[in-house]
Amino acid sequence: MDKQKVFVFDTTLRDGEQSAGVSFSLNQKLKIAHQLQKLGVDIIEAGFPRTSPGDLEAVQHIAKEVRECTICALARCIKGDIEAAWEGVKDAANPRIHTFINTSDIQIENQLKKTREQVLEQAIESIKLAKRFTSNVEFSPMDATRSDKEFLFRIIEAAIAHGATTINVPDSVGYAIPSEHGNMFKEIIERVPNSDKAVFSCHAHNDLGLASANALSAVQNGVRQIEVAMNGIGERAGNTALEEVVMALKTREEQLGVYTTINTKELYRTSQLVERISGMPVQWNKAIVGKNSFRHGSGIHQDGILKKRETWEIIDPASIGIPNGTQLVMGKLSGSHAFAKHVEELGYQLPEEQMTKAFEDFKNLADKKKNIDDRDIEAIVAQRTGEVFSPKWTVDHIHVASGTHAIATATIRLKDADGNAKTDAAAGDGPIDAICVAVNRIIEADPSLTGYSVQNVTEGIDAQGTVVLRIKDEDDTFYSGQASDTDVIIASAKAYVNAVNRMLLMRAKKASMAQ
């Protein structure tokens, strides 16, 4: 049987914005919406226009500018909400109205203070009104997983009969468990007589940490739209994380028999953007996009990775947009193999006996010190070999210009050990790229920057940023560089020159050995 597509409905800008402490400005919403379009989501739920004039305006802008996705606006089953939702999306290339009403008795009786029959009537009237504006109408029976099943079947049948084309069955309070969630969809699709006339959708919340598992179970039982948010942000414990379900569907595509059309190479960039704009930090061990997702600490794992990456990684970090994302973390659990590889990246070639001794020193230090960085490893190597790393080049002067409408340029003066200076300038795709190009001109070589991170940013006006980066020489050998400064741009230049010096040192060693 042909594989079927699962549509990705992103609600970062609506349910995601409901995260306590998160509020997006119009420009921030637009930025995220454009990035979601690049990521290839099918539907963007851009907002809930009735809630504020600002939200209406943001939805309108997104509808006008983001043309490759369906743009959806949320509305309660209330006339004014539906009219506002239409005001928001009417200029979209593909507009959708998403209307919802509570269907669990606990919410109908205590919150709406209505009867089931009144709720059913209100849902039908609202869908009829939405249909006057657009053929693309989604209906959600809210708190579906705690609703009476027979009532749920009735209201879904009525919604489809009156023109809803997508039926989203939300686990609004994150109460469901995966097998039950999947069975609920199976039963709905089997028992609702007109279920073949609508696309079924799931919307899982993460109160029990089961949102992704529930979404997968729903897909296995006939759901073809998943409602998700980037980094899993959303009301309370959040929504289903887009990156998790998309990568589960991709990684296990053969078993699941479905696919999405997400451009997974944009996942990491989207995650970073949402993290930055929302101010909600992604936890280190977050699946797919967390800082530790591709960092390996154990010696056994590091050894396996060095032999074949797939021994300990089910996803290639490059496939989600982290080039050279696999990292072997130097610490007390690291093995000799990973240590030796790291020492080589620092530009040292040690005879086996010295390497063994250096590894022993490293292990002793790692027992005492939690964060070991390249400076520590360098000190160990220097002690064992007497070899002190003497850089060929140092940064003497740097001037970088960049801005929203300007091409980034860098002017750099490097000095060699004898005090001779060389200056060059270059333009680039951003200040870091400009720095790398200018340095490459001076050293007359063409290594490429393959990994870059800013770490250990301290607090206060004299805050220091440490830049750790990796470069690749033309012969595919990697070198790392590190530097700190109160200005991260200067730290970046120094770190790049630091890596370049190691590369030049190793080149010289290789050349002398070849003679």
Footprint on this chain of Zn ion (rule: CB under 5 A): 15
- Give the range of 36-44, 164-172, 189-197, 441-449 binding ligand KIV by CB under 6 A: 164-172
Helix, strand or coil, per DSSP, at residue 126: helix
Task: Please tell me the distance from the alpha carbon of residue 225 to that of residue 6, in angstroms, as a whole number.
Answer: 5
Query: Which partner in ligand KIV, Zn ion, none is near 498 (CB below 5 to 8 A by kind)?
Result: none
By beta-carbon proximity to ligand KIV, the closer residue of 120 and 142 is 142
> Between the CA atoms of 152, 153, 159 and 160, what dihedral angle is there, to the nearest 10 degrees?
150
Tell me: does residue 480 bind ligand KIV (CB under 6 A).
no
By beta-carbon proximity to Zn ion, the closer residue of 15 and 303 is 15
The percent of the chain in helix, strand and coil, each rounded to the nearest 5, is 45, 20, 30
> Between the CA atoms of 257, 259, 265 and 267, what dihedral angle is there, to the nearest 10 degrees?
-100
Interface residue with ligand KIV, options 28, 35, 140, 264 (CB under 6 A): 140
By beta-carbon proximity to Zn ion, the closer residue of 156 and 343 is 156
Q: Roughly what angle, to the nearest 10 degrees, separates helices 79-89 and 53-65?
A: 40
By beta-carbon proximity to ligand KIV, the closer residue of 163 and 170 is 170
Instruction: Say if residue 39 is exposed, middle or buried (CB neighbours under 10 Å; 0-12, 13-18, 19+).
Output: buried
By beta-carbon proximity to Zn ion, the closer residue of 15 and 143 is 15
By beta-carbon proximity to Zn ion, the closer residue of 85 and 432 is 85
Give me Rg for the CA atoms of the chain.
Answer: 28
Tell me: does residue 100 bind ligand KIV (CB under 6 A).
yes
Minimum Å gap between C-beta 304 and ligand KIV is 41
By beta-carbon proximity to Zn ion, the closer residue of 15 and 473 is 15
Handedness of CA 115, 120, 126, 128 (dihedral sign): negative
Minimum Å gap between C-beta 15 and ligand KIV is 5
Interface residue with ligand KIV, options 15, 243, 345, 378 (CB under 6 A): 15
Q: What is the 3-state secondary structure (H, E, C) of 427-490?
A: EECCHHHHHHHHHHHHHCCCCEEEEEEEECCCCCCCCCEEEEEEEECCCCCEEEEEEEECCHHH
Task: Please tell me the distance from the alpha carbon of residue 214 to that of residue 43, in angstroms, as a whole number.
Answer: 20
Tell me: does residue 47 bind ligand KIV (CB under 6 A).
no
Tell me: does residue 203 bind ligand KIV (CB under 6 A).
yes
Handedness of CA 334, 338, 344, 345 (dihedral sign): negative
CB 97 within 8 A of CB 72: yes
Interface residue with ligand KIV, options 35, 103, 147, 172 (CB under 6 A): 172
> Per residue in 145-159, is it b (16+ CB within 10 Å) or e — as a string?
bbbeeebbbbbbbbb
Task: Please tell me the distance from the alpha carbon of residue 37 to that of residue 288, in angstroms, as a whole number.
Answer: 20
Query: Which partner in Zn ion, ligand KIV, none is near 100 (CB below 5 to 8 A by kind)?
Result: ligand KIV
Interface residue with ligand KIV, options 16, 47, 95, 170 (CB under 6 A): 170
By beta-carbon proximity to ligand KIV, the closer residue of 104 and 264 is 104
Minimum Å gap between C-beta 145 and ligand KIV is 10
Query: Which partner in ligand KIV, Zn ion, none is near 136 (CB below 5 to 8 A by kind)?
Result: none
Task: Please tell me the distance from the alpha carbon of residue 156 to that of residue 140, in angstroms, as a whole number.
Answer: 9
Minimum Å gap between C-beta 102 and ligand KIV is 9
CB 228 within 8 A of CB 11: yes
Query: Which partner in Zn ion, ligand KIV, none is near 140 (CB below 5 to 8 A by kind)?
Result: ligand KIV
By beta-carbon proximity to Zn ion, the closer residue of 240 and 484 is 240
Tell me: does residue 166 bind ligand KIV (CB under 6 A).
no
Could you tell me which residues are beta bridge partners of residue 485? 465
Question: How many residues touch ligand KIV (CB under 6 A)?
Answer: 9
- Give the range of 165-173, 178-186, 373-381, 503-511 binding ligand KIV by CB under 6 A: 165-173
Interface residue with ligand KIV, options 142, 245, 355, 395 (CB under 6 A): 142
- Give the range of 167-175, 364-372, 387-395, 466-474 binding ligand KIV by CB under 6 A: 167-175
CB 69 within 8 A of CB 12: no
Minimum Å gap between C-beta 355 and Zn ion is 55
Tell me: does residue 342 bind ligand KIV (CB under 6 A).
no
Tell me: does residue 9 bind ligand KIV (CB under 6 A).
no
By beta-carbon proximity to Zn ion, the closer residue of 233 and 377 is 233
List of residues contacting ligand KIV (CB under 6 A) = 15, 100, 140, 142, 168, 170, 172, 203, 205
